[in-house]
Amino acid sequence: MEPSEWLEFVNEPLLRVPSSDPQMAPSPPPEKPVAAKTLAQRPIIAPPTPPIPTPPESHAGSPIDEADEPTILSVSTTFYPGAGLAPSLPDIVLLSSDTVFFYVHSPVLLRESSNRLNALLPPPEELASQPPDGVGPVVPLPEPSTTLNLVLHTMYGLSCLHYSPSSATLNAGVDALAKYGVDLKQHIRPGTPLFEHLLGQSPAAPLDFYATAGHHNLWELAAAISPHLLHFPLSDLDDDIDNRMGAFYLKKLFFLHLGRVDALKRLLLPAPQGHPATPECDFLEQKKLTRAWALAAAYLTWDARPDLSPTAIELALRPLGDHLSCEICQTSLHERVKQLTVQWSLVKRTI
């Protein structure tokens, strides 16, 4: 059989290999609510209102009747007055942008935040002067409740996995933690709840998580996420994502892709070993296998991808043995394919 005929047994198996694209993975579960409705138990300090209210219309109901109506509040299902997250009672209330109340402890916030929540918390001496049985001031924050919930879970050292935070919430939460002066390298490292959340969600949006890790110089997180980007075409990167991850992590991503493609080309180069001529298989017959291997290797090299799986390589090269009558050549081909797939599986997959 001529080498050109062998090539038809190379193309078809490779095209049938299932994609290893991480985006084909099942979608993560929907994000769960972080608050529940409850009746107000005590007056809440609301944001200031205009000093001269607009007079009600003549047909409006009595103000006394309106005051008798119960006030419904949205309160965090984790950070509520009786949660018992600290020995003392909550002494400050954080209000999210979507009006969810979080009852928290100022000592925890002051310990974890190096800038008093971006200077939004009252000074420590003012907090210390609050009555011991009081709820304390209400501090409005610009983040939505889902993001603030993640921030507070991280500051308290708790896991928020049961809330199923979305990819957008996780990335926004990391940015908010940095803005509020929380030590990211302390809270986002292997073994911490937030690190595991980010890594677990990364297959759904690896580029966004990798850019967030690069933006905050979280090397361990970026390295753990980088294998999920082997399928991503680098030509699709845009300026916004490049600027967010930074030049250093962009270079590492390029080197990962280019290094694996170059390694694949080098591994494919050696053909199966020949053997001493026999009456059934002389050197001329063995050259047919060598030429067929070269054609198959050239095909794989032309379409070389950093995410090419060992199974795809095996499916592309094993059919070469279907048309070998020499058992020694078949054994040599089998050993060469096995060696190649093992070597390729050992090539570094992380930045």
Where do the domains of the chain lie, and which CATH numbers do they carry? 3-21+258-345 (no CATH), 24-42+67-230 (3.30.710.10)
What pLDDT is attached to residue 274?
A: 87
CB burial of residue 244 (10 Å; 0-12, 13-18, 19+): middle
Question: Cα separation of 8 and 295, whole Å?
Answer: 10
Residue 193 confidence (pLDDT): 93
**What pLDDT is recorded for position 130?**
73
pLDDT of residue 334: 93
**25-83, pLDDT tens digit by residue?**
556 667 777 766 665 554 444 444 444 454 445 444 545 455 556 678 899 999 998 88
User: How many residues would you count in the chain?
Assistant: 351
Query: What pLDDT, on a 0 to 100 scale, did the predictor assign at position 96?
Result: 96
Residue type, 144: P
pLDDT at residue number 323: 79
Q: Which amino acid is it at 251? A: K
What pLDDT does 144 receive?
Answer: 96
For residue 169, with 0-12 CB atoms within 10 Å meaning exposed, 13-18 middle and 19 or more buried, which class applies?
Answer: buried
Q: Are 167 and 122 in contact (CB under 8 A)?
A: no
pLDDT at 133: 64
Q: What are phi and psi of 101, to 5 degrees?
A: -95, 135
**Which positions of the chain have pLDDT values less than 70?**
1-29, 35-70, 131-134
Order of all β-strands in the sheet with 35-39: 35-39, 72-76, 100-104, 92-95, 138-140
Tokens of 31: 């994000």
Q: Report the pLDDT value the prediction gives residue 253, as an integer from 0 to 100.
A: 97
What's phi and psi for 146, nearest 5 deg?
-65, -40
* Predicted pLDDT at 282: 85
Task: Please give the pLDDT value at position 264.
Answer: 95
Task: Measure the CA–CA gap between 261 and 334, rounded to whole angstroms.
Answer: 23
SS (H, E, C) the chain: CCHHHHCHHHHHHHHCCCCCCHHHCCCCCCCCCCEEEEECCCCCCCCCCCCCCCCCCCCCCCHHHHHHCCCEEEEECCCCCCCCCCCCCCCEEEECCCCEEEEECHHHHHHHCCCHHHHCCCCHHHHHCCCCCCCCCEEECCCCHHHHHHHHHHHCCCCCHHHCCCHHHHHHHHHHHHHCCCCHHHHCCCCCHHHHHHHHHHHHCHHHHHHHHHHCCCHHHHHHHHHHHCCCCHHHCCHHHHHHHHHHHHHHHHHHHHHHHHHHHHHHCCCCCCCCCCCCCCHHHHHHHHHHHHHHHHHHHHCCCCCCCHHHHHHHHHHHHHHCCCHHHHHHHHHHHHHHHHHHHCCCCCC
Give Dmax (Cα) for the chain: 113
Looking at residue 19, its pLDDT comes to: 43
CB-facing half-sphere around the CA of 249: CA atoms within 13 A: 28
Classify 265 in phi/psi space as left (phi over 0), alpha (psi -120 to 50) or beta. Answer: alpha
pLDDT of residue 45: 44
